[in-house]
Amino acid sequence: MPVESSWAPFRYTSYTVLWTATVISNIGTWMYNAGSGWMMTSLNADPLIVSLVQVATSLPMFLFAMPAGALSDIVDRRLFLVIVTSVTTVIATIIAMLVAFNLVTPSILLLFTFLLGTGAALTAPTWRSIVPQLVPRDVLAPAVAADSMGINISRAVGPAVGGLIIAGIGIASPFWLNAISNLGIIVALLWWRPGKAVAQRLPAERFVSAMITGVRHARYNSHLRATLMRTVGFILFASAYWALLPLVARSQIAGGPELYGFLLGVIGASAVIGAFILPWLKERLGPDRLVAAGTVGTAVTLVLFGLAREPSVGLLASIIAGMSWITVLANLSISAQVSLPDWVRGRGLATFVTVLFGAMTLGSAAWGQIAGLVGLPDAHFLAAAGVLISIPFTWRWKLQTGAGVDLTPSMHWPTPVLTHKVEYDQGPVLVTIEYRVEPGNREAFLDALKRLSNERRRDGAYAWYVFEDVADQGRFLETFMVESWLEHLRQHGRVTNADRIIQDTVNRYHARGAPQVTHFVAAEARERQEEEERHANQV
């Protein structure tokens, strides 16, 4: 299959407009990050305290990405982005005013960094979820890579400009520009008119139920789970140089804000260059070996930052850092995207973001503490050793294995036959499927059924079991439960064409016609409903 050009997503106007607005907004964000990191080295130069700026940025992603992912799948995504971005703009304006009037303390800086990070956490899954609405599926991979490229363009421009304007105009300037940069996002979202969504004949999912279903799906989605394991193995150690770079620039190289901004900018610029050669490299190496190469590059980066006493060494480290970072993160992001069906995309990507930034938060705090104990150079060397060791330890989890899987809904489950009305909230629901299997096919049938059990659980089932009749050889009963009748009806729309292939494999072992499917609803739920109806009639 030919590799799509890196420029392919920009053939689509909506993608181009939103991408451009996002880049401008992210430039402001990176100006803020550079300003806040440098300001903290002036307020309190303790390595742990400085690393807490990175913690305050990434912790909200860990805490709030999952709820945000659930919201992304059940609310109007465009309206949600407009509202959260507007609130974030107000918060950014307030911290800019506090900095301008010299009212900022370390605690205040960390608080507002956390609040701005919360805004980013709430919108991150939604931004990732709308990409398939902006480009066709065959352009999804270069679109995800272009998103990463956009982030790194912002990372190249924002810190470099931020460092210069801090030195030339004052520390408050990047904070003001961050607030202003969000306005373009709001305008672009108000302009965008997404295509009409497919009409849903079932009510929207409830918030808590949607979160539980999303976590269950992630647990039983082997493609996504592999991506998460590789993410943790890399980020725990790569987070070291992000957390400690302000101190490397100020204390180890003895530079000013211009140097710090310049090093961050070089990381971003190098990542942009790396994004253009990623398709070519991926075609030749594949995602797993490419991520391993990026991980080795990150180890080299950490060693160089540990050795850096001159700006030239820091420059070389930053060049390698940017290319390595985009190589790993772009492939991890694509792997997460292609592992998810549309109905759970927001929640699945939220799981990816939660794990990524959870590892970033833990790693940043840990490396700040370690640097305080053993010093900046040794902390970087230890992180380099750790990231190299992560390669063999995580190698068995392969990336982008969901790329060739057909995750479109199959819609092949028949509508259940009812003898009376069943309310949506009645439950739990017990589903049983009876099979008749020839004795010689027993082991192969059970192996196929085990694979099918993951599909049941991914789509909302729990308490899955298979039973064998001890008095009737070859009679098996598959059972699983769903929290409500409505949730079971949703299952019908979640089954994919890939799942259908597995189900057809199981059914081939059934010896007599089609397996017998039976639905049971908890009796007490129906009795309670009838009692409520009688009470309503009496009133």
Is residue 364 domain-shared with residue 510, that is, in the same domain? no
Distance separating alpha carbons of residues 178 and 159, to the nearest angstrom = 12
Is residue 156 domain-shared with residue 244, that is, in the same domain? yes
Tens of pLDDT, residues 68-113: 777 777 777 888 889 999 999 999 999 999 999 989 898 999 999 9
Domain boundary among 394, 416, 437: 394
Is residue 249 domain-shared with residue 348, that is, in the same domain? yes
Is residue 187 domain-shared with residue 65, that is, in the same domain? yes
Domains in the chain, number: 2
Tens of pLDDT, residues 432-480: 999 999 989 999 999 999 989 988 998 889 999 999 999 999 999 999 9
Give the domain CATH number at 462: 3.30.70.100
**Domain-embedded: residue 75:** yes
**Domain-embedded: residue 204:** no
Backbone angles phi, psi at 173, to 5 degrees: -60, -45
Domain boundary among 394, 419, 442: 394
Is residue 330 domain-shared with residue 443, that is, in the same domain? no
CA 480 vs CA 395, 455, 459, 467: distances in Å = 33, 12, 11, 11
Is residue 389 domain-shared with residue 444, that is, in the same domain? no
Query: Count of residues for the chain?
Result: 539
Give the domain CATH number at 312: 1.20.1250.20
DSSP string for 467-492: EE-SSSTTEEEEEEEES-HHHHHHHH
Is residue 32 domain-shared with residue 87, that is, in the same domain? yes
**Domain-embedded: residue 402:** no
Burial category of 348 from C-beta neighbours within 10 Å (exposed 0-12, middle 13-18, buried 19 and up): buried
Using alpha carbons only, how large is the chain's radius of gyration in Å?
A: 26
DSSP-derived 3-state class of residue 6: coil
pTM over 0.85: no
**Domain-embedded: residue 420:** no
Q: Where do the DSSP E strands lie in 232-363?
A: none
Is residue 302 domain-shared with residue 433, that is, in the same domain? no
Is residue 42 domain-shared with residue 171, that is, in the same domain? yes
**Domain-embedded: residue 521:** yes
Structure tokens at 69: 């992912």
Is residue 473 domain-shared with residue 356, that is, in the same domain? no
**Domain-embedded: residue 345:** yes
- pLDDT score of 350: 82
Tens of pLDDT, residues 221-246: 999 999 999 999 999 999 999 888 88
Domain boundary among 374, 394, 414: 394
**Domain-embedded: residue 36:** yes
Is residue 455 domain-shared with residue 510, that is, in the same domain? yes
**Domain-embedded: residue 2:** no
**Residue 539 banded pLDDT, cuts 50, 70, 90:** very low
Is residue 372 domain-shared with residue 447, that is, in the same domain? no
Tens of pLDDT, residues 322-381: 899 989 988 898 899 888 888 888 788 888 988 998 898 899 889 989 998 999 999 999
Range of the domain at 232: 8-195+213-394
Residues paired with residue 429 on neighbouring β-strands, in sequence order: 482, 521
